Structure 1
Amino acid sequence: MITADTVFLVVDDADTMRRVNSSQLERLGARHILTADNGKEAFALLRTRKVNVILSDWNMPVMDGLTLLRKVRSDPKLAMLPFIMITAESSRAQITEAIAAGVSNILIKPFTANDLSQRITRAMNHRPRLHSPPVIAEPTQESKEEYRPTLLVVDDVPDNLALIAGLFQDEYRILAARDGRRALALCTSETPPDLLLLDVMMPNMDGFELAQHLRSHPSASRIPIIFITAMSDPAAQLRGLELGAVDFVSKPVDPKSLHLRVSNLLRLVEQRNALQQEYDTMLELERLREEASSISRHDLKAPLCNILGLARSLLEGGNLLPRQMQMLHSLETDSQNLLGMIDMAGDIYKIETGNFELKPVAVELLPLVRRLCESARLTYQAKKLTIEVVAEHTNESTPVLASGDELLCFSLLNNLLKNACEAAPEKSRVRLTLIPAEHIELVMENQPAVPVAFRSRFFEKYASDGKSGGTGLGTYSAKLLAEAQQGSLELEIDDEANLTRLRLQLPPRN
């Protein structure tokens, strides 16, 4: 995937890491590598230079990696650039945030050139597809089997090699080398070991010299080293620690002690690998969700256009009773609004990632609320609900004008009303009260009260309670749309009256 023409941009505030990442890219065949030491500098560079792939650290001064990612995704000319986020420590919430912002892949430090190569390939291959199913990379043979960490044992004495290898061969993959040069080749390969058990005294290249070579190599610099040596000189141990050794084991080896030291150290290695796998899975699931959503939006448009066309044909044909005319007009309006809501999915994504720009207009709320209630009465007539609208301190000649986006207001109110009607018991009441004030307020009430255990999660994405087939997106998107229009949406509970009350506020149009 990497060709001689591929241009990389490496963004990191640490000069050492910029050089390490650039060196790894060069080993993979890259010939054009640009660097920047923060997101602001990188974004300025993107304005003037052609770049094919961005590799960015997360934590940086001036502008961090997440802010850079959002700016790239919000720029039409840069939006499709593969963007790989590199991080040493991030919470799952932060990873979710990066996925929502459109990251192409995530790579946890430390990583090898092979890790980097795989994620560059995935990032450059990822493109949205409307008509073909999402492509999931086939797992390698090694990943299908139970993963076993790899130990490299280095000692010029065959008996020592056999002894140490025998201690671990049932639990780990064992590699052996009798000199430093062979060990260096194994450690700098595309599949380096997870842990190095290294003798110090060896001919040609001793253990200290080997460790020094490893610490200056991009993919081998973070391989944990345990020195196994007969040397007891404190100065020698200090030198080993300076070279990055994590432990010293004295000869003759105590098998039980060595086994515990190796197990404890490799447990940390396994935790890091598991974390990388979890983040990869989170990223893949989000991509699957996005592509499934894209396919659904595309496939929904055709039947909705057909419904709209049929409604218009029937209206144009005439010979209809007044009630039939009313129902067809309602069907026509709802079909048009649904088409608009499908097209609005792109705006929802922009709102979630902080890239939405509101262009407010005057939205007349009372007629909109009444149309939605009339449609809801038809939809939920089997439940025999009483759906009523109360407009306080206003009349038909005094419009209630909110400052916002008409389609966002429609979707917001429709979601709230649908949620209330679905939750309301048969023959109960759903009441909407419109109150013009400093902030225009709409209060929606229905039975029953939201269960106590669910109240804290009421507006969470994908959270649902007691509804078969519920997606948990209605109240989440409603709150999102309210806040995108400089408004607010709050949940209130009246346990005594067994009521759920939603209080929506929108700014007035002056």
Structure 2
Amino acid sequence: MSRKSVMEKPKTHTILIVDDLPENIKMLTQQLLPEYTVQVATTGKKALEIARSSSNLGVILLDVMMPEMDGYEVCRQLKEDSATQKIPVIFITASNEEIDELAGLELGAADYLSKPVSGAILRARIKTQISLSSAMAAMTEENSVFSENIRLREDVERISKHDLKGPLTAIINISNMLVNDKSLTSNHIELMELLSQSALRMLEMVNRSSDLYKMEQGTYRLNLVPVNLVKIVFQVFQELRVTVERKSVHCSLLINQKPGSSQEIFEVPGEDFMFFSMLSNLVKNAVEASPTGGEVLVLLDQFSNDPPNFTISVKNRGVVPAQIRGRLFERYATYGKEGGTGLGVYSASLMAKTMGGNLSFVTSESDGTTFLVNLPLPDKLHPRVSANEEMFTERMPGSSERKPRAEMKILVVDDYPFMRRVIIDILRQDGFATFLEAGDGNSAISLLEKNPVDLVLSDWYMPGKSGLELMEYMQSDAQLKKIPFIMITANLSLPEFEKAAEKGLRNYVTKPFSSDIIRKKVKAVLSKLQGDLE
């Protein structure tokens, strides 16, 4: 390779000169060579042909006054064509020509230059437009990649949530049902409880990935159900057992200022996994911050204020370092702790805010540290109906199913066989005895056409016909539309719900669900049906 070829500057951009006068073309070409490659067009029609067939035009230098097709018309057509609209256009005009600069700029021209043009100014203007164009192209590409990454992340999260919530819900409910088996030893019961708690923790991790983002954006939609905070607290104590034993820390619970046991109930409206995650973060931090042999105290208190509220307090003898107190609720705030992410207190604060409350703390050398979660109590301490049931099921007080449960026939539709088994076992314990099963919407339709059914419970996302398509089919049939329908879904966004509600969806249960939620939902739906018939 010669020294000359090494030193030559590559001609990376082509400039298209559009002018009907040869002397103007010659002048502009001399000013651009050798820095740029030059193409020439003497008519507007030829300029459009070159622009549409070239892939590397950097700038078009366009004369305004030309025969047949003037520069304005050429510019208009360039900007209307998606293949050429992003190429910068600089109008070149004679100093004695009367032109309408505003009209040109409104058409999409990037700049104006008057002849005779200084070579240095011409090259500087071209360089500026190429830089701007390159920056816009890079930004567009980055936005495209960013949008694609968001789409892929949402797809992965949606798939993982759907695929993982099914089996994990089964693990939780199967283990909970086995705990009630009186033939099990105390050791077996403890193992079943550990299995259930591990599955709950996995579900919390699956949910947390995208839920925190939704909470930050204010788009998270609460799915309120009755939650026993005592059960949650002892699950957290159990999960942290290894750390607690290593530091010889004593964990205890007070309920309304009295010692609490795992058999007691402090039931409030909320979400199991949100309370579990929030308490897990706060108690874990308290245990880690406690001195060896210290105590971590969780307090649950109800207050009859106006409006009523309840509080969750987590106390320990440790002290929050002064260096971090002012930014403790910020994302990634951590100090002096190995392996800490700085997300624990941040996410706990975000969850408290999402549930309509707040998280605060006080810390001192004499009294240690207390984190206080203050949350509203909408109705009473022991709500018996979840928000879903109140919102989507108009219950008839005092009504009951007229047909005996043992004689009712229930169709359960889910592509996971073990999920069908879990739902059937839950309902069988409630007195229902006859069930039909289908793995997709098409199979369900075949069964519905051949068998009288009293209730349908269907998963949303399934291969073949989805649960929503099954519901639409039932809505279109004069007889099938009378059958109560409950949708079960692991991932229901607000737009999807609104779409489903428009098509007739009135009852649904979200995964993960407890056996109580399924029982209450079925009872409420059948009670409403009986009320409508009376």
- Among residues 396, 400, 410, which one is paired with 2:276 in the alignment? 410
> Aligned equivalents of 2:167 and 2:226: distance in 1?
31
Residue in 2 aligned with 1:200?
64
- Among residues 128, 138, 141, which one is paired with 1:264 in the alignment? 128
SS of the residue corresponding to residue 311 of structure 2 reads: strand
Unaligned runs of 5+ in 2: 1-9, 381-534
CA drift at 1:254: 0.7
CA contact (8 A) 2:90 2:110 kept: yes
CA distance 1:358–1:500, shift in 2 (3 Å): same
Q: How does 1:272-311 map to 2 (within 5 A)?
A: 272-287=136-151, 289-290=153-154
SS of the residue corresponding to residue 132 of structure 2 reads: helix
SS of the residue corresponding to residue 226 of structure 1 reads: strand
> Aligned equivalents of 1:194 and 1:264: distance in 2?
11
> Aligned equivalents of 1:171 and 1:369: distance in 2?
73
> Aligned equivalents of 1:367 and 1:200: distance in 2?
79
CA drift at 1:302: 7.3
CA drift at 1:295: 7.3
CA distance 1:245–1:292, shift in 2 (3 Å): closer
CA distance 1:182–1:467, shift in 2 (3 Å): farther
Residue in 1 aligned with 2:93?
229
CA distance 1:464–1:395, shift in 2 (3 Å): closer
1:214 aligns with 2:74: no
SS of the residue corresponding to residue 436 of structure 1 reads: strand
CA distance 1:285–1:149, shift in 2 (3 Å): farther
Residue in 1 aligned with 2:358?
489
Identity %: 30
Q: How does 1:84-483 map to 2 (within 5 A)?
A: 151-157=15-21, 160-161=24-25, 164=28, 175-188=39-52, 191=55, 193=57, 195-217=59-81, 220=84, 223-235=87-99, 237=101, 240-241=104-105, 243-287=107-151, 289-290=153-154, 328=191, 330-338=193-201, 340-341=203-204, 344=207, 348=211, 356-394=220-258, 399-422=265-288, 427-437=293-303, 438-446=308-316, 447-449=318-320, 452=323, 455-456=326-327, 458-460=329-331, 473-483=343-353
Residue in 2 aligned with 1:112?
none
> Aligned equivalents of 1:209 and 1:184: distance in 2?
10
Q: 1:418-474 CA distances to partner (integer Å, 9 max, x unpaired)? A: 3444555655543323232231111224535266468547353x7766666655554
CA contact (8 A) 1:402 1:506 kept: no
SS of the residue corresponding to residue 245 of structure 1 reads: coil
Q: 1:128-147 CA distances to partner (integer Å, 9 max, x unpaired)? A: xxxxxxxxxxxxxxxxxx99
CA distance 1:218–1:439, shift in 2 (3 Å): same
Deviates more, 1:405-414 or 1:392-401: 392-401
CA distance 1:242–1:338, shift in 2 (3 Å): closer
CA contact (8 A) 2:16 2:39 kept: yes
> Aligned equivalents of 2:34 and 2:178: distance in 1?
76
CA contact (8 A) 2:300 2:313 kept: yes
> Aligned equivalents of 1:175 and 1:456: distance in 2?
60
Q: 1:332-364 CA distances to partner (integer Å, 9 max, x unpaired)? A: 341242354366469837656666544434333
| Counterpart residue type for residue 458 of structure 1 | F
CA drift at 1:198: 1.3
CA distance 1:499–1:179, shift in 2 (3 Å): farther
User: How many residue pairs get matched?
Assistant: 361
CA distance 1:217–1:286, shift in 2 (3 Å): closer
Q: How does 1:29-40 map to 2 (within 5 A)?
A: none
CA contact (8 A) 2:330 2:346 kept: yes
- Give the TM-score, by structure 1 length: 0.55
1:505 aligns with 2:371: no
SS of the residue corresponding to residue 240 of structure 2 reads: helix
> Aligned equivalents of 2:269 and 2:192: distance in 1?
27
> Aligned equivalents of 1:464 and 1:404: distance in 2?
28
- Give the TM-score, by structure 2 length: 0.53
CA distance 1:306–1:176, shift in 2 (3 Å): farther
Select the structure with the greater relative contact order (CA < 8 A; seq sep ≥ 6): 2
CA drift at 1:326: 7.6
> Aligned equivalents of 1:157 and 1:410: distance in 2?
79
CA drift at 1:497: 5.8
CA contact (8 A) 1:390 1:432 kept: yes
CA drift at 1:158: 5.7
CA drift at 1:480: 4.0
| Counterpart residue type for residue 252 of structure 2 | E
> Aligned equivalents of 1:239 and 1:356: distance in 2?
48
CA distance 1:159–1:270, shift in 2 (3 Å): same
| Counterpart residue type for residue 381 of structure 1 | E
> Aligned equivalents of 1:154 and 1:500: distance in 2?
76
Deviates more, 1:233-242 or 1:276-285: 233-242
CA drift at 1:381: 2.2
CA drift at 1:255: 1.3
Residue in 1 aligned with 2:468?
none
Q: 1:195-240 CA distances to partner (integer Å, 9 max, x unpaired)? A: 3221234444332332243355566556442222324334455654
| Counterpart residue type for residue 400 of structure 1 | F
SS of the residue corresponding to residue 230 of structure 2 reads: helix
> Aligned equivalents of 1:178 and 1:440: distance in 2?
81
| Counterpart residue type for residue 404 of structure 1 | G
